[in-house]
Structure formats: structure tokens, C-alpha cells
Structure 1
């Protein structure tokens, strides 16, 4: 089982510091993205266009974080030529970095839908589906990042299992919203925008799942992205 202290055994203290700094940068970006998601969901539920615009504006900061982490990873690979678990750490951070940036993009899209919906009135669903799915994917993202911080494989497996529930609720929400459109054609515009917001939440669930799978790769050295839950179960701790 890989442990955090495994990244602190190098002869070069500078290399230890570089790896820990890289990991901390990624987790800091994760916290910023998590806050973007929470704010985007709240802005939609409250139809707060001012906060929605602020979320869109802050997306540039997330993009800058992504580029900074990419540069740091490239520098470590070029200068240190890491191998074994060190290389897995750098590769995992590169992949998580991409997923976090895309979650930031999806949060900005939710904010954009909030601004579009502000002129159309409240959805007949009262955003019940947004609230429910938003809470679920928010929890998935938080637990995926926490699992990465603590190198907790079992928690990562639980995150991946949670994506099935997101997909189930997303399908149910689409059917429910389609019924609302059939019942009142005047609400088609606002409901379509709500559907796009829900689509962003569903994608965020996918990215949170990716982060959890990257953690399994980091700790176990096993690529389980296409193995489904059975493949993940094989790499989860026993007991």
C-alpha cells in the first residue's frame, strides 16, 4: 500500500519538497473548484445572477492554476526523470488537473444557464432535480479529493459507485422535465436551460469519478478506468 511518506524518502530534500508542493497545488486547485461548484449550484437555486457572473469571471483563475500545475509537472519530469511511484504521482496529478479544470468549466456553464434563466422565471420543477443531483455530485467531488489527499482507495471506490446513482437520477430528471415541457410549452425555454445545467452536473460526476480512479492508479499502479466496479473492487482494501 502506497503511503504519503513514500514521497519523502529521496536523498534530495529538494525533490521531496517539489513533490509535496505539486501535490499541495493540486489539492488547492481542488478546493477552489469545489467552491466554484457549490457557488454555481447556489446561484442557480437562488437565481443570483451577480454571483453567477462572478463564477464565470473566476474561471480564468482556475485555468491559470491548471497551467501552473502543468508547468510544474513538466519541470519535474524534465529535471528529475521520476520513476515508479514518483512517476505515478506526477502522471496522476496531470490527469486530476485536467479533470479539475473541466469541472471548473462545467461550473461556469451552470452559472451561464442561471443568467439565461433569470429572464424566463422559475422552472416548474422548482429546481428540485438540480438541488438533489447537485448535492450528490458535490459530495462525490469532495470525497474524491479527500481520498486523494489521504491516499484512501476504499473511499475512492465508494465515489465511483456513487456515479451510478448520479446517472440514474439524471435520467429520471430528464424524463420529469420533458413532461413539464409537454404540459406547458411556455416553459420550454427555462426547462431546456435547466436540462443543460443538469447535464453539466452529470459531467461533473463523471470527472469526480475519474479523480477517484486516478487515485486507485496512484496507490495500486492499476489502471481501472475501463474495468467497471468489478475491477475497482479487486483493488479495494479488504477487511
Structure 2
């Protein structure tokens, strides 16, 4: 059976091949940019770096421009090529993944704004002492975004499932960190302002994890033709296992 990876590279029209490859490449470029945005926004927050925070905030326009350009190119492919089957899934997956990447960029901008708001309230010792949870969750969700994009590039449903499993871990990490911050506010009311801003930061990072999970779901739809949104992870795992045993990759 011909795999989806092979289907996406086999068309009579070389121009069509090039258009699909360009959509993929631009999506990966956008993904790399927003993952960098998250990292730099957190660095600005932890390092009390207002200049870096402003740069992240201002660069969000570039993310928005990439979203508009990719949407327009996807519409052109659909209108002119009328793709079917796996090709249509690729285009539709790109459109949906672009929307999630743009929202990740929004979360990065939100963290940058929080960094600017907190800049006058912190010194270096404060930031190093209080942002352990933020650094940990940031590293976790950035890895999820990278892994989801890598799964898309390689049409790898196992890696996509791994990202979905990690989202549950991030959710638990977020809840634990939020509880710790509430305890700290109760013990030291003078730090309530900073703690609340950290809570908003953690919430933004947890949302990045949710969007990475959405990216992984689209990889599964792309490769297997399964819509696994709004399903328990265990159900998705069982269905993928059954589909793999019965029929292999969808055509």
C-alpha cells in the first residue's frame, strides 16, 4: 500500500507538488518562530528584560502576517487544484494548525506584556527565586510544540500521540504550580501582585500546551484521516492501534 508520505509527493503536476511542499515549509517556519517567541518571552520575564519583552510583543505582527499569507495560499490551492483525499487533508490540516500557531504567538505576546508590567516590581534575586515553575513548564510546552511540528514534518502519528500524552502531564504541572502560588500568597500577602502575574503566565503556558495538543491531533487527522478532537486519549490510542492492525495508513 502506498503511504500518505508517498502520496503527497506524487502528482502529475510538479507545480502542485511544489505548492504543497511550500505550504508545509511555511507552516514549519511559522512554528519555529512562535516557539522562539515563547522562549524569549519567558526569558524576558525571568531575566527582567523589558527590551526583549518589547521585541517579542512587536514581533507578533510578523506571526499575524504569516497566518494571513498561509491562509491565502491554502485557499488558492483549494480553488485552483481542487485537491482530493490525502491532499485535501494536508491543506485543511495546515489551515487549522496555522490558527493554533497564531494563538501560541498570542500567548507569547501576553507573557511579554506581563514581563513589562512586572519589570518595576522585581530585582534579579526575585526573578531567580520565584520563577522556577515558569521555567519548568515553559521548557515542557516548548518541547511539545517542537515535537508536534516534527511529527507533522515526518507524518509520524506515534510522535503525535506522545505530544498528546505530554499535555496531560503539563495540566498536572500547572495545577500543582498554581496551588503552590496560592499558598505563597496566603503566607505573604505582600507578594500577591507578583504571584497573580505568575499565575497568568503559567496559564498562558498551559494554553500553549493545549495548542500543541491540537497540532498533534491534526497530524493524526492528516496521516490516518481520523478526527480525534474532543476524545479521551485512551480512546484515540485504542482506535489508532486497531486501525494500524487492520489497514495501516489511510490512502
- TM-score, normalising length from structure 2? 0.91
How far off its partner does 1:3 sit?
A: 3.6
For the residues of structure 2 that align with 1:43 and 1:222, how far apart are their CA atoms?
39
For the residues of structure 2 that align with 1:149 and 1:13, how far apart are their CA atoms?
20
The DSSP-based 3-state class of the residue aligned with 2:83 is coil
How far off its partner does 1:141 sit?
A: 0.7
Is the CA contact (8 Å cut-off) linking 1:52 and 1:115 kept in structure 2? yes
The DSSP-based 3-state class of the residue aligned with 1:227 is coil
Is the CA contact (8 Å cut-off) linking 1:2 and 1:220 kept in structure 2? no
Q: Which runs of 5+ in 2 are unaligned?
A: 246-251
> For 2:212, which of 208, 213, 236 is the aligned residue?
208
Aligned counterpart, 1:18? 19
- TM-score, normalising length from structure 1? 0.96
How far off its partner does 1:227 sit?
A: 1.9
The root-mean-square deviation of aligned C-alpha atoms, in Å, is 1.5
- Kindly tell me: are residues 66 and 16 of structure 1, through their superposed partners in 2, closer, same or farther at Cα, counting changes over 3 Å? same
Aligned counterpart, 2:194? 190
1:182-206 per-position Cα deviation (integer Å, ceiling 9, x unaligned): 1121111111111111110000000
For the residues of structure 2 that align with 1:188 and 1:235, how far apart are their CA atoms?
46
Please state if 1:222 is matched with 2:240: no
1:143-168 per-position Cα deviation (integer Å, ceiling 9, x unaligned): 01111111110010010000111110
The total of aligned residue pairs comes to: 238
How far off its partner does 1:5 sit?
A: 2.7
For the residues of structure 1 that align with 2:3 and 2:144, how far apart are their CA atoms?
23
Is the CA contact (8 Å cut-off) linking 1:2 and 1:151 kept in structure 2? no
For the residues of structure 1 that align with 2:3 and 2:95, how far apart are their CA atoms?
19
